[in-house]
A and B are shown apart, each in its own frame.
Chain A
Amino acid sequence: MTQTQDLDGVELLEQLGKTGDGKSPQGCMQCGLCAASCPLGDVMEFPPRKLILQAGADHLDQVLASPAIWMCVGCYTCSLRCPRDIELADRLWPALRDQAMQRGFQPPAELQETFQNVFKYGNVLGKSPRQRLDWAKDLDVRVLDLSKEPRPVEVLWLVGCYPSYYPRNQAVTRAFARILTELGVTWGVLGAKEKAVGECDRMFGEEGLFETLVEENRKLLDRLDFDKIVTLDPHAFRALQNFYPRFGAWYPVQHATMFLAERLDKLRPLVVKPIEATVTYHDNCCVGRRAGCYDPPRSLLGLIPGLKLVEMARSRENALCCGGGGGGMWLDAHIVAHGGRRLSDLRIAQAAQTGAGVLAVSCPYELSRFEDAAKVAGLEGRLAVRDVVELLAESMDLGERSAS
């Protein structure tokens, strides 16, 4: 942990130029592409361009005191658009938030609670670690708990917080377990020992918490024998691929859609049940815009007989974020209180415009965000929200079964 508490704005920008990816924020030419393309830029007191300008002009304290620094939801649009390759989303914003907390500015209350949950329980939901495997109760396939039986496996599946605990997500989790088993892959999970990967904590500037998680996760992962990590959570994918290596922790990692899309030939004979539906796909930000990986989920949807895929006007690198990324899940109240809106509400309208009956997603946050948005928009019953993995499992006749 670098001690940055006494830095002024210029020194902070200088230091950022020396660490991590991208180029120094001091190279900013104030073109404003970032602010203009930010989905919340219009309501931020300091959108990215202005953040750099004011921090550089030694108004760091004003910047740190602003509610704006807690409004970025990590969609990476600014990072992608920046002609100077400044890594705004995952370097500038986290650094400012870290500074703010070091200087005693309090993050929004919901976020504090999330940090505390992760620190205390190792998951964002504040659930008992002993209930991590509750999703697998009465499951019809075997779940190998590597923390108890450390056998070599091809896939170490990091299940993630929402997929482990959140009832709506657990259905997707079980579907993925069945698919992995059906594919004949050897796989295991970390059970009660699994902890949050820490992406949202890192994005929110909780550097100390993130470092703690990296240390603890490394201790566990380094003892195990696996070919790759697979996760349903694009945020965990992003953190493991990009943030962990900065601590010397390098693990091969794939998002579930990438892993499955490499096995299209094996999957093709297994998709036996048609799904007669018009489906539109929402690109999540970490696997989509940030990693540039747009085709795997679409190729999986394309396998399913009967399914008709339509695109939203804004898709792939132009997809509008659901607003839940980088800790945004816990910022809705803060953002709305400061003149913003939930991006999921805008996005659901874009999905509805396609005329699709199903909005397919591939990020654990999106299920609840979009289901909620559909309720608010009065689209319930007309626009269903399904995970790609869930649709695939259904077509493979591996869908959720009743207890009988």
Chain B
Amino acid sequence: MSASDVLVLAEIQREALADITHELLTAARSMAAATGGEAVVVALAPDGSRFAPALGAADRIVLVDDPRLAAYAPGPYLAALEAVVAAERPRAVLIGATSIGWDLAPMLAARLDAPLVTGCKEIRVEGGALGVTASFCGGKMMAEARVAQSPAVLMVLPGSFRPATESGKAVVERRTSPVPLEAGPVRFEEFILPEAGDVDITQQDILVAVGRGIQQKDNLELAEELARTLGGAVCASRPVVDQGWLPPTRQVGKSGMTVKPKLYLAFGISGAPEHQEGMKASDLIIAVNTDPRAPIFDVAHYGAQIDALELLPALVEAVQARKG
């Protein structure tokens, strides 16, 4: 417990540790190396020890065991987190910019009267202060900021750090909450899972998009296979939907859906403005088209000038090989 420690809130979503936790641990490890402190992860969950083996990148794993933490509710979570932060007095608290993080990070900062930075992508230790690079205004502006006061609450954008692979000391500390946790006015009732109907492409993290370059309906299967391999869904530009090869719920663009997935793989889509309108906000766009002047390459991060039908099977193999 020291003012040079960096605390990470483990994000547990429906009984599973979310990837952001490992990303935050990478940031915490490198910060702790500079401050001479420890990377500490806090897991708020009953019987949290089951998550400990996956949290080996931390120096300490603080488990707050309480039946009130079985499902997310802001009241008990905030009280438990605040108590740990009060006891640990860390240099910084790292929380993911997730559904839970958007509640807890600003609420914690308000309770502690601590500085908060949203949209953090890079964090540096600069002598006694923290230097932060953050993205705001819908990604159209970057800010470099300094935070001198401890603790700083930093809300980190998912995907900003690679997931931690190093090992820390991984000392497990099991605690009961020092304050009694009360149900509070906001209570968890139930999870509502998506209905098994057609895929809602606006909710997908990974989209394999096909355009006219796919040529025939039968070739859709190539895209479907890649989507299955990546854990995503297939969507399309208008001509493909017009042909009746995919339902209108899969259409991206002006008269279809607007999507913002983490990955948008565009195969054989020229990228008319109508299409771009529906997908250009995607985090990562990789476009494949035979025409080097296709406008899709203006919005894509990576491009490949090749026939989509040739690349698709090769990519399925390459992805499978990488996943092992």
- Verify B239–A375 contact, CB threshold 8 A: yes
- Verify A376–B255 contact, CB threshold 8 A: no
- Verify B239–A332 contact, CB threshold 8 A: no
Partner of B255, one of A166, A167, A332: A332
Q: Is B75 an interface residue (CB 8 A)?
A: no
The proximity string for A residues 223-250 relative to B, scoring 1 for CB distances below 8 Å and 0 otherwise, is 0000000000000000000000000000
Partner of A166, one of B212, B256, B273: B273
Known contacts A337-B248, A375-B212, A375-B239; is A110 also within 8 Å of B255 by CB? yes
In Å, the complex CA distance between A347 and B185 comes to: 62
Q: Is A333 an interface residue (CB 8 A)?
A: yes
- Verify A167–B273 contact, CB threshold 8 A: yes
What count of chain B residues pass the 8 Å CB interface test? 12
- Verify A333–B248 contact, CB threshold 8 A: yes
In the complex, the chain B residue whose C-beta lies closest to that of A165 is B273
CB-based A-B contact count at 8 angstroms = 19
In Å, the complex CA distance between A337 and B239 comes to: 15
In Å, the complex CA distance between A73 and B217 comes to: 31
Within 8 A of B (CB), among A75-125: 110
Known contacts A166-B273, A167-B273; is A333 also within 8 Å of B255 by CB? yes
What count of chain A residues pass the 8 Å CB interface test? 10
In Å, the complex CA distance between A337 and B238 comes to: 14
A residues near B295, Cβ cutoff 8 Å? 167
- Verify A376–B273 contact, CB threshold 8 A: no
A49 to chain B, nearest CB (A): 29
A residues near B103, Cβ cutoff 8 Å? none
B residues near A167, Cβ cutoff 8 Å? 273, 295
In Å, the complex CA distance between A372 and B254 comes to: 14
Within 8 A of A (CB), among B116-134: none
Q: Is B149 an interface residue (CB 8 A)?
A: no
B184 to chain A, nearest CB (A): 38
Known contacts A166-B273, A333-B248; is A110 also within 8 Å of B254 by CB? yes
B108 to chain A, nearest CB (A): 37
Known contacts A110-B254, A166-B273, A333-B255; is A376 also within 8 Å of B248 by CB? no
B299 to chain A, nearest CB (A): 13
In Å, the complex CA distance between A332 and B239 comes to: 13
In Å, the complex CA distance between A380 and B212 comes to: 11
Within 8 A of B (CB), among A114-155: none
A residues near B255, Cβ cutoff 8 Å? 110, 332-333
Within 8 A of B (CB), among A11-53: none
A residues near B317, Cβ cutoff 8 Å? none
- Verify B239–A376 contact, CB threshold 8 A: yes
In the complex, the chain B residue whose C-beta lies closest to that of A113 is B254
Q: Which of A110, A368, A375 has the most CB of B within 10 A?
A: A375
In Å, the complex CA distance between A372 and B256 comes to: 16
In Å, the complex CA distance between A332 and B242 comes to: 11
The proximity string for A residues 338-373 relative to B, scoring 1 for CB distances below 8 Å and 0 otherwise, is 000000000000000000000000000000100010
Known contacts A333-B248, A337-B248; is A376 also within 8 Å of B254 by CB? no
Within 8 A of A (CB), among B231-287: 238-239, 242-243, 248, 254-256, 272-273
B163 to chain A, nearest CB (A): 38
B138 to chain A, nearest CB (A): 15
B residues near A166, Cβ cutoff 8 Å? 273
B residues near A376, Cβ cutoff 8 Å? 239, 242-243
The proximity string for B residues 206-227 relative to A, scoring 1 for CB distances below 8 Å and 0 otherwise, is 0000001000000000000000
A residues near B212, Cβ cutoff 8 Å? 375
Within 8 A of B (CB), among A376-403: 376
A371 to chain B, nearest CB (A): 9
In Å, the complex CA distance between A110 and B256 comes to: 9
Q: Which of B239, B243, B254 has the most CB of A within 10 A?
A: B254
A70 to chain B, nearest CB (A): 14
In Å, the complex CA distance between A166 and B295 comes to: 13
In the complex, the chain B residue whose C-beta lies closest to that of A342 is B242
In Å, the complex CA distance between A333 and B242 comes to: 10
In Å, the complex CA distance between A368 and B255 comes to: 14
B139 to chain A, nearest CB (A): 18
B residues near A337, Cβ cutoff 8 Å? 248
In the complex, the chain A residue whose C-beta lies closest to that of B255 is A333
B258 to chain A, nearest CB (A): 11
B residues near A333, Cβ cutoff 8 Å? 248, 255-256
In Å, the complex CA distance between A368 and B253 comes to: 15
A residues near B238, Cβ cutoff 8 Å? 372
Cβ-closest 9 pairs across A and B: A333-B255, A376-B239, A376-B242, A332-B255, A375-B239, A110-B255, A375-B212, A166-B273, A167-B273
- What are 19 residue pairs bridging A and B, where the CB atoms are less than 8 Å apart in the complex? A110-B254, A110-B255, A166-B273, A167-B273, A167-B295, A332-B255, A333-B248, A333-B255, A333-B256, A337-B248, A368-B272, A372-B238, A372-B239, A372-B272, A375-B212, A375-B239, A376-B239, A376-B242, A376-B243
